[in-house]
Amino acid sequence: MEMIKKIFNKSSLLVPLVSILLGLLVGALAMLAGGYDPLLAYGSLFKRVFGSSYHMGETIRAITPLIFTGLAVAFAFRTGLFNIGVEGQFIMGMTGATLIGVLLDLPWYLHGPLAILTGALFGGLWAGLVGYLKAKRGVNEVISSIMLNWTALYLANYIVTKFLLEPGQQKSRNVHESALMSIDWLVQLMDKARMHWGTFVALACVLVFYILLWRTKQGYELRAVGHNPDAALYAGMNVNRTIVKSMFISGVFAGLGGVFEILGVFGNQTVLAASVGYGFDGIAVALLGGNTPIGVLLGAVLFGGLSYGSNGMSFGAGVPSEIVRIVIGSVIFFVAAHGIVKFILKPLKLKRSDKSKEAA
């Protein structure tokens, strides 16, 4: 646990940048070993991402949920909690939104907001449960949240099949038009890419994350508990309640991610054979971003961009898209093992300071 904490807290700009380069390099080596042309592959990856307005829009769509889940992981981490249950909270968010979106029929100015709130609440409560178990019963949050991930998956499938199923299909009925969150003019503008309000909410959440943690007294408490629960107790804070709060807020971020996948992208909820994976990717994104809000945003852009572009890679250069997983994996590895990067940077730095000495 200590290890993980140390890895998570390192943040500076140089290290991630060099890590990205090194990651791309490792990917290139892997491609060479497999007999592929890395330049062509990376070329087609970038072409895919930036090549057309449709693909650019879709890249943004792929990035959006990662911002939410990255923020969720990072937020909990700032309070000293390892929320590995973002996955489950994301699914609960989806389910909450689908329930309201399918079952109710309301005017748009009520329906959308209600669906969003319900999903966010579902995510928040699902995570809050983990916080409660930890605060009141001392259950390690990692264990309980892994269990709740599975529970969420089956619960969501049960709800969809039992109450919302589109006859003859493995998915729910469509969400009513009034609850949908896509931005029609932008969809048109971006050549039918699925653009939705979730992206803007995600950006707002980046801001909320920052303000909440660093500008408010609530955030002061959350951070104090994260750094030193004993001192927090001494300072008259309610440590247990703060843990529950932190998990709840983290879960709200995760839940919102799920909400907009339903209301903004798909319009219905499929019966999931396996977890959606956004939650786990969120851990990677938070790691990449050093648990800072801006870092998470950039990490999500990188992660989402690479993943989306990887399809182009297999298309343009015949490289299996799994190679991109190697790239992402090694970028994370280098960020985490920042010692290695610093080691590589060291001779460069020394040379530079020698030069400045000579100049002086």
Q: Which is nearer to another protein, 4 or 231 (CB)?
A: 231
Considering the complex, state which of residue 46 and residue 220 has its C-beta at the smaller distance from another protein: 220
Strand, coil or helix: 182: strand
Compute the distance between CA of residue 6 and CA of residue 255 in angstroms, rounded to an integer. 27
Is 268 one of the binding residues for another protein (CB under 8 A)?
Answer: no
Q: Assess 207 for contact with another protein (CB under 8 A).
A: no
Query: Binding to another protein by residue 30, rule CB under 8 A?
Result: no
Measured CA to CA, the distance from residue 155 to residue 225 in angstroms comes to: 32
From 88-96, 156-164, 226-234, 295-303, span contacting another protein (CB under 8 A): 226-234
237 binds another protein (CB under 8 A): yes
Whole-angstrom distance, CA of residue 257 vs CA of residue 94: 8
Q: Binding another protein by CB under 8 A: which of 12, 53, 161, 228?
A: 228
Token digits of residue 198: 């979730």
Residue 294: name the closest of 57, 13, 4, 62 by CA. 13
One DSSP character per residue, 78-109 reads: HTT---TTHHHHHHHHHHHHHHHHHH----HH
DSSP H or E run through 219? helix 217-227
Rounded CA-CA distance 190/233 in Å is 52
Query: In this chain, which of 238, 270, 275, 311 binds another protein, going by CB under 8 A?
Result: 238
In the complex, minimum distance from the CB of residue 61 to another protein, in angstroms, rounded to a whole number: 34
Contacting range for another protein; rule: CB under 8 A; set: 23-31, 81-89, 194-202, 211-219: 211-219
| Given 235, 294, 344, 350, the residue binding another protein (CB under 8 A) | 235
Q: Does 35 bind another protein (CB under 8 A)?
A: no
- Point out which span in 28-36, 194-202, 217-225, 247-255 binds another protein (CB under 8 A): 217-225
Q: Would residue 192 be called left, alpha or beta, if left means φ above 0 and alpha means ψ between -120 and 50 degrees?
A: left
Q: Does 11 bind another protein (CB under 8 A)?
A: no
| CB nearer another protein, residue 57 or residue 226 | 226
Residue of 24, 146, 187, 233 that binds another protein (CB under 8 A)? 233
**Distance (Å, whole) CA 291 – CA 10:** 9
Residues 315, 51: contact at Cβ < 8 Å? Answer: no
Looking at residue 165, the DSSP 8-state letter turns out to be: B
Tell me which stretch binds another protein (CB under 8 A): 152-160, 236-244, 273-281, 326-334.
236-244
Tokens 């919302």 belong to which residue?
A: 164
Question: Rule CB under 8 A: which residues touch another protein?
Answer: 215-218, 220-221, 223-224, 227-228, 230-238
